[in-house]
Structure 1
């Protein structure tokens, strides 16, 4: 079978070192938490084998520690660990003998999260828990030997190669940057001394594994730090690593403590690939690029431009393990696209939870969530075509049930149709495109513009009804809530409500932040334009100053509205947003001059504005418009009516629990119900 002609570059083989990969798509490294489970070998084997069958050319595992001080996650230190990893490599090679699997070696350094963490100098990271212990000369030698030993054990475990991560604020990268390496011995000071540690690590690893073993090194091509690496340093390091026997250079962007988003949905697709392309011109070995490349055409375009030899897709492989096969067969419309929300992947990782995926609740649960054909076909009605209803309907139909999906609206999507209107959340269109195709492909009987009641459903004789009717916005019992100044957030997002120049937003959860973004936005969405993104986050792609950042306070375009974002809780506004993306939303709105006020008690609304107390002190906000984002109530009236009639019914999504319109929870719940019916 020949690949689809749209992607000739993706599906051309590539020589790397002593071997060859069958195509240019790599499943990039992600720490999922599977590494830490009691049955880690079995679960990682199932997880990686499914992605190997999905068509990728090469897989890089999550980071594995080479030394007891390496920090979070699993380590590869001896024979017992080798046995666990052999389960993984054997499963991958059995599933797809032509797929290479490479183990990433990760030493977290000052980010290790333990008092025993180490670094070249005792400089605490902004996001680290502890001040690291300064490595002695003997300690440095011990760490170098540990990297070499870990690589040798990886080879023994059946891996095809190793990747060493020398970026992100982990141990190796802290040797490279002056702010974190303040040593005055041969490991610090001049650039030649600061790059000595990674060079010695590479030299020791190559000696330990021999020439016939894939060796990838991940470098900070642009670390997004004030005082970070200069471009000339990036190039000289890459050349030195090539000379020491590295087969592939993988480019990474941003330290974890940087104030520049690099993988959130507000980042343009392939925003950083041009930096990789510049480095590629300096080297004779293949180069990998990454970050916000989530669809085959984006990958093909990067390869056509000559910006990389290999495309790393990490989170897209959580969202759709079969992405590459679908591209090969020209079935792009069937790809469940990563929307870069971070809610179930990185937010979970950085809070110690098992990684999954908002749009694919099976991710990292392959041994638990099994979509198997049903033994007895039944007639199922699903009412509500939001994310929960769509997931339940399509998976239930995939299993062989006869499914009818009702919705009163004229299009599928529910609350996702609101989310996709917010600048920076354009990727939500992709999820709805995917579900629309799955509805068609799985044979779901879709009935839009159709409002059904319990009696009608009972008369239709369904074996079971799944109620996914979503939410209704909560209207607070407040004097003046029906004043002409007051509008609902739904009407604002849909463009049916007039919004004045001076605005108060009641409620500072995720919806409040989205509404604030929408009503103050001006110009092109940064998520759709790399130059706009660079201006808004102070990145200089053209001149590449040290660290890649300008050092000038970024300016975010605004339409000039005066907006106050209010919340009842006394905690900082936005504290409840996602761990890895919340700070980006707060910064963006702050740069637009939006006021954020907590500890508010609402009193009334009248011609004078919004009357309230702030921290116990009375205040009147002179505003033209009050937008109510005061939470939601489950819309479960249909469910109650069905139960009263004795019709078998299930409740999922916002109709089950309306808190913060959690699509992650809704799709997970819908998936679990679908595989059980």
Structure 2
């Protein structure tokens, strides 16, 4: 039965510049994490395969090439940061060959291929030595007139190279702390020459670049601008000025479309919005631009589902929608939506771990909900020639993914879960308001297992005796983790409760709550945010030098903004050493100086988990083959669990 998405305007064609799009779905740059197009041959193949698969699924337009513009610095100066490329990709000797392969792969599948031109601001260049960023105090270099003129010509050269390589268009990255945005913004452009001051002069650099590009590429090459609709930053331009900038760009006759976004590189929201924000939350702002402009408007911003994409287009909020993390989660999203199978789309949970694994921890890219993403150049898991009876003990993220993968390979799989619901700790975390998307993913996994015929026994604990007597060929222990209770005197007092029990509604807390944070990712912030939602007065003590050190800049702003707005207090480098009635004692982790915290009614532990691996140990020598994965091996995050499930599924 059709869900209406396939028959709606999302799948109607539209012309943008020189591109006749088959539908309204565009994929903005986001695949660089899966492989560097200009790196090794293996990396290039990985990224090209990633884009090819999504074009074959039916995406109409892939702006997949992160095109960093050359960064002219004096000899010996070392720019820092994610976008601090010195030699721009367009000047690499392999640019045309690699870009052509990307374009050919996308175009052969019926989609259009374009590139984004990026010059990250403050690395080290800026108009006035200012950054729209209170979390970065590095002082940038102020461009002079000659350097500005160099940039204008370099942008034009880059666009011409993109056209020569066979791409269908380019997009200027004039948002999210790009150099072009720093010139547009009254917060960061304080120049007193012809490139600063009023809006017309602040817009001059962007218009000079666009005119130079047009002189190089002509009128038939698609050129667009990605623009912050509202900077949402003190001293920055607001929505009215954003509309005025957009109107001036259209009037120049140099742009074919406008790509409307919100957010920045560090704030709340960041430009990669987390699950703390509603789906398509800012599309009504894009609607203002769609009504005001005659050129097509693209909107990207937490459009996490096919239904949301369809709604944005149907309601006239945008002509085209950009979807990035949603197609990390499911590379077949477009095909499934077009085929009336939206319920089969693997949902994105919006954690941004796909980014932070790479940017914060330097690990290989991984999507939390889809361990296959980024491996499109590898053959998919094959059907087994030797089906085996497999028991998966535990139905958390690791157990669910492993069970489905093994069943897809042809094994006969049973799942024993001691609770009455699947999901493990992910189910508990879903009780927090901002984690509602977790429940969507668990529901998807349940439907997936049912369609594969996996036997799921709820309320059945996998004891060593029962498992050994059942005679399975393989046993995979995915029993998760129990709450960690730190070795602190007084931690067993009745007013000290576990954060998971608070989320489940099993524990009552008083009006003033002290949260003991001993976990480096999102759990303490989630529990503190839930307590704030309940109207509690919250203080959080972290022993680490920073709040949630494994949560990167693209995600940290949302929970911190929520807690700040609720009046919560967060202190760092404070290690709780004793809990007593009426007071909590902490010591500075560096100096050892003791402090007392009084007046709290409850203490809530947000201390992560400890592996629940007893079953694996007890099964030694009692079953033919056993494995352990997920939190039962070492408590980590969802992406760790699902990636371990994928690797194990290949080996059984």
TM-score scaled by length of structure 1? 0.87
Determine if the alignment matches structure 1 residue 250 to structure 2 residue 259.
yes
* Partner SS for 2:621: helix
Q: Distance in 2 between matches of 1:590 and 1:455?
A: 51
Check 1:139–1:600 CA distance in 2 against 1; reply closer, same or farther (3 A cut): closer
Q: Does 1:135 align with 2:143?
A: yes
Q: Secondary structure at the match of 1:276?
A: helix
Q: Which residue is equivalent to 1:47? A: 50
Deviations 1:362-409 (A, max 9, x none): 322333573333333222221111001111111121122221121111
Query: Deviation at 1:192?
Result: 1.6
- Name which of 280, 283, 307 aligns with 2:293: 283
Q: Who is 1:239 aligned against?
A: 247
Aligned-partner Cα distance in 2 for 1:230–1:453? 61
Native 8 Å contact 1:119 1:174 kept in 2: yes
Structure 1 counterpart of 2:645: 670
Deviations 1:481-535 (A, max 9, x none): 443223222221111112122323233533232222112215xxxxxxxxxxxxx
The reply on whether 1:520 has 2:532 as its aligned counterpart is yes
Counterparts of 1:141 and 1:151, CA distance in 2: 16
Provide the residue aligned with 2:607 in structure 1: 630
Alpha carbons 1:202, 1:241 under 8 Å: kept: no
Take 1:211 and 1:616, find their aligned partners in 2: how far apart are those partners?
68
| Distance change in 2, residues 1:492/1:179 (3 Å) | closer
Structure 1 partner of 2:28: 28
Per the TM alignment, residue 347 of structure 1 is displaced from its structure 2 partner at its CA by 5.8
Query: For structure 1, which segment, 576-585 or 265-274, has the greater mean C-alpha deviation from structure 2 after superposition?
Result: 576-585
| CA distance in structure 2 between the aligned counterparts of 1:676 and 1:55, rounded to whole angstroms | 32
2:162 equivalent to 1:147? no
State the 1:607 CA deviation: 4.2
- Residues 611-659 of structure 1: per-residue CA shift (max 9 Å, x gap): 555653353634332223333210111111122325311111100102x
Decide which of 189, 205, 209 is 1:181's aligned counterpart. 189
Q: Is residue 123 from structure 1 mapped to residue 123 from structure 2 by the alignment?
A: no
Three-state SS of the structure 2 residue aligned to 1:241 is helix
Residue 71 of structure 1: aligned partner: 84
Name the structure 2 match of 1:391: 401
2 CA distance for matches of 1:347 and 1:7?
A: 38
Q: Find the partner of 1:587 among 536, 556, 561.
A: 561
Q: 2:19–2:112: 8 Å Cα contact kept in structure 1?
A: no
* Alpha-carbon separation, structure 2, partners of 1:353 and 1:222: 34
Q: Secondary structure at the match of 1:293?
A: coil
Residue 178 of structure 2 is matched in structure 1 by 170
Between the aligned partners of 1:479 and 1:143, the Cα distance in structure 2 is 62
2:111 matches 1:99:
yes
User: Does the aligned pair in 1 maintain the 2:9–2:314 contact within 8 Å?
Assistant: yes
Shift of 1:412: 1.1
Q: Which residue of 2 aligns with 1:448?
A: 458
**Deviation, structure 1 residue 287:** 0.3
Contact 1:382 1:406 in 2 (8 A): yes
**Out of 540, 551, 555, which is 1:565 matched to?**
540
Secondary structure in 2 aligned to 1:32?
helix
Name the residue aligned to 1:16. Answer: 16
Paired residues of 2:71 and 2:119 also in contact (CA < 8 A) = no
The one of 307, 310, 316 aligned to 1:297: 307
Residue 183 of structure 2 contacts residue 196 of structure 2 at CA under 8 Å; is this kept in 1? yes
Structure 2: how far apart are the matches of 1:392 and 1:435?
Answer: 11
Deviations 1:313-362, CA, capped at 9 Å, x for gaps: 11111111111111111211211111211112256346665543211223
Q: Counterpart of 1:38?
A: 40
The CA distance in 2 between the partners of 1:604 and 1:132, in whole Å, is 46
Deviation digits for residues 519-552 of structure 1 (CA, Å, limit 9, x no counterpart):
2215xxxxxxxxxxxxxxxxxxxxxxxxxxxxxx
Q: Name the residue aligned to 2:427.
A: 417
Residue of structure 1 in register with 2:345 after alignment: 335
Supply the distance in 2 between the matched residues of 1:340 and 1:10 (Cα, whole angstroms).
Answer: 22
* Ranges in structure 1 where 5+ consecutive residues have no aligned partner: 523-558
Q: Deviations over 1:101-152 (max 9, x none)?
A: 1111111132x3xxxx323333355355743333333322221221122112
Structure 2 partner of 1:530: none
Shift of 1:184: 2.3
